């Protein structure tokens, strides 16, 4: 191997290593998101009251961005947060 080919070879190895590392971190992130989004007794997002509110916000919205904004405002203004109400229960 000439000097130029040797440098190209190591550049390819480095790029391959970064690609494998990226796949590894993506897999970790994907698994973490699945766990983060799991329904639990405390986070019962399939409850009919929550689903009714979701549908209400969707119906009021002009588009997806408006829906996201309405969800944010609803949670910010209407949901009691543990810090706001000085409780240990989250």
Closest by CA to 78, choosing from 57, 48, 47, is: 57
CA dist., res. 60 & res. 8, Å (int):
57
Mean pLDDT on 50-79: 94
Task: Check residue 31 and give its pLDDT.
Answer: 79
Contact 67, 57 (CB under 8 A): yes
Counting Cα atoms < 13 Å in the Cβ hemisphere of 59 gives 6
Contact 90, 82 (CB under 8 A): yes
* Domain positions in the chain: 1-38, 40-90
Residue 26 tokens, joined = 């993506």
Mean pLDDT on 8-20: 83
Q: Which residue has the higher pLDDT, 51 or 20?
A: 51
What proportion of the chain, given as a percentage, has pLDDT over 70?
94
């Amino acid at each position: 191997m000439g000097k130029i080919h040797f440098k190209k070879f190591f550049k390819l190895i480095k790029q391959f290593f970064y690609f494998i590392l990226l796949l590894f971190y993506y897999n970790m992130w994907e698994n973490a998101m699945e766990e983060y989004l799991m329904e639990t007794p405390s986070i019962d997002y399939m409850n009919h009251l929550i689903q009714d509110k979701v549908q209400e916000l969707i119906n009021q919205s002009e588009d997806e961005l408006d829906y996201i904004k309405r969800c944010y405002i609803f949670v910010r203004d209407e949901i009691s947060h543990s810090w706001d109400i000085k409780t240990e229960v989250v």
